[in-house]
Structure 1
């Protein structure tokens, strides 16, 4: 029997094909200790993953430029053993775009939606009854550019997600400084562009990367990789559009060296927002005004390593785990729930090039 104070942690890495690129850990939520359970050959660079609602299947992108001789990344599907957490590869298909970086399940979990960063397009892949993935049924190409000549010469889709009511699909494009909007057509396995197609236009050159909704569905938070800011957005659920109500820095004003924002998460209780800073090597914490959605800085906490690409919150809201890509560590933090402040637990895991984390309850636990 598993301890009721234990969660599974799935770690995606930048390991090559043929290596154990997805790792399974146990998180002890009494102490924050991480214990390695098993490694799995998950394909090359499984840098973002998502589960179905029952956690029977895991879907991972394989962030690569060439797959089976074509200019494409890949998408892998795995069956999840409910007792052990072990993964079994079901199949792997092309993502129909270069460098996929984000994946989410579509409406009714009948499709997966994939953001291909380098090629600037979105792929829709049907999910079959046994959890395997079928070949792409839709491919939508973004157009445009931004003012940053090094990073924004072409579109770069970095995030794709459903609205809370699942009426819209939003795609965050770092290359064009826009959030694009689509209607999901589940029966046809397609995304239908809306008119107008743009849900939000960010400030030029900010490079929006990831977006998260508040649990109340009234606000969302957009983190910008290129300018180290977060936009607070008021969400019009009828129109599927956003209005910016606040812009707040993710790093101290005195910091002048390189920084690239990465992950963003809202605490399960909706009271706090966290973001990761690569370069400043920190996690920034904000308190959320639950009436207005506006943010107030709580603190910057060192990530305990170099280049914190992604992080994850335990479902209980009591722990935060950070993947420090360049220093090969996952650091465990305890969250003080009344204040949102972080403190290192003293526990860490040594993992080569960790880039993604997902914390899930063990089967049979709430």
Structure 2
């Protein structure tokens, strides 16, 4: 899919893939990684043709757990990390110079449960994201109401950070995490109670301290909802959260002094179940992947952080979108 400067969305190519759930792009913009719910869980590497948009599969590895739901790549492009929702594991993989994935360097199993007997009967790591300094990896675990913090070593082993895990609010169900580009704040979307939690982050220890929590929903809404994705604008001025049920993107302003959030708007995504949102590197466009609306919708971001719909592209059951930057 190509996004033009005026926000037009155009299909460029299609590459067959086996039930892909989440994507990550290596920093050199030459390789894409996808977790795929097939063969008990798999993570695959694809070579990117920047001209045509086509992908060529390089290789794949077991995701080391069922229900893989997230993949990320560290800032050096040396390691990929995977979270397995059903398997309750996170795994680290070395990346070869040509982008291929090596065998898992480490696999860590999460244990525990939470207060919701249906959704939190076991651990469910939902994401694994390297922090801004590339020293720590953060794992929101929906099943245990914890955010685990790891410090990968030179071999790729996921060593627990000395700061230890952070306990979220009971029944919150932390899902995804996003980091402020310049200040020591990060934001975690809590799937089970439709909240977004703000944390202050210690860059030296990796530790998190809770600051505040904000609802992702307007006060008048009382229907079912499960927020999914969270991103911080490249300027650091706004935070965006997707709501599945309310089918909107919640817009928050960031207080630059405290890191707290203030609700600004709730923009309908023009489709059902926005599982993922993506921000353009220049901060001018947001894409919402409406999984059950079978479309990706593009929005322009104005000077207040609010969203204005500008384009739509039919896509069967879209679940994730990533922008490709030039190397």
SS of the aligned residue for 1:269 comes to coil
Residue 29 of structure 1 contacts residue 319 of structure 1 at CA under 8 Å; is this kept in 2? Answer: no
Per the alignment, residue 327 of structure 1 pairs with 293
Alignment of 1:266-345 (within 5 A): 266-336=232-302, 338-345=303-310
Post-superposition CA distance 1:341-365 (Å, at most 9, x none) = 11111x211111000011224x47x
Unaligned runs of 5+ in 1: 1-24
- Once residues 354 and 107 of structure 1 are traced to their aligned partners in structure 2, the CA distance between those partners, rounded to angstroms, is 26
After superposition, where does 1:146-157 map in structure 2 within 5 Å? 146-157=114-125
Residue 194 of structure 2: aligned partner = 228
Q: Deviations over 1:302-345 (max 9, x none)?
A: 11011110011111211111111111111111110x20111111
Q: Which residue of 1 aligns with 2:70?
A: 102
Q: How does 1:172-211 map to 2 (within 5 A)?
A: 172-186=140-154, 188-195=155-162, 197-198=164-165, 200-211=166-177
What do residues 216-236 of structure 1 show as CA deviations (whole Å, max 9, x unaligned)? 140000110000001111111
- Name the counterpart of 1:17: none
Residue matched to 1:255? 221
Aligned 8 A contact 1:313 1:319 in 2: yes
Deviation at 1:92, TM superposition (A): 1.2
Following superposition, the deviation at residue 238 of structure 1 comes to 2.1
Counting only pairs closer than 5 Å after superposition, residues 9-158 of structure 1 correspond to structure 2 as 25-30=1-6, 32-42=7-17, 44-64=18-38, 67=39, 72-106=40-74, 108-158=76-126
Q: Secondary structure at the match of 1:109?
A: coil
Cα distance in structure 2, aligned partners of 1:319 and 1:149: 39
Mean CA deviation greater in 189-198 or 131-140: 189-198
Task: State how far apart, in whole Å, the 2-side matches of 1:273 and 1:201 are.
Answer: 22
Deviations 1:180-223 (A, max 9, x none): 1111112x23111234631x110011100001110014000011
Q: Secondary structure at the match of 1:312?
A: strand
Counterpart of 2:127 in 1: which secondary structure?
strand
Residue 163 of structure 1: aligned partner: 131
Among candidates 358, 362, 366, match of residue 322 of structure 2: 358
Paired residue secondary structure (2:117): coil
Report the Cα offset of residue 103 of structure 1: 0.7
2:212 corresponds to which residue? 246
Asked if the contact 2:46/2:57 (under 8 Å) is kept, the reply is yes
d(CA) in 1 for partners of 2:119 and 2:48?
A: 37
When the two structures are superposed, what TM-score results if normalisation uses the length of structure 2? Answer: 0.96
* Secondary structure in 1 matching 2:76: helix
SS of residue in 2 equivalent to 1:159: coil
How far apart, in 2, do the equivalents of 1:106 and 1:342 lie? 30
Structure 2's unaligned 5+ residue stretches are none
How big is the shift at 1:73? 0.4
Give the number of aligned pairs: 327
Alpha-carbon contact 1:263-1:310 (below 8 Å) kept: yes
Contact 2:25–2:322 (CA under 8 A) maintained in structure 1: no
- For the 8 Å contact 2:27–2:76, the answer to whether it is kept is no
> In the alignment, is the contact (CA less than 8 A) between 1:107 and 1:184 conserved in 2?
no
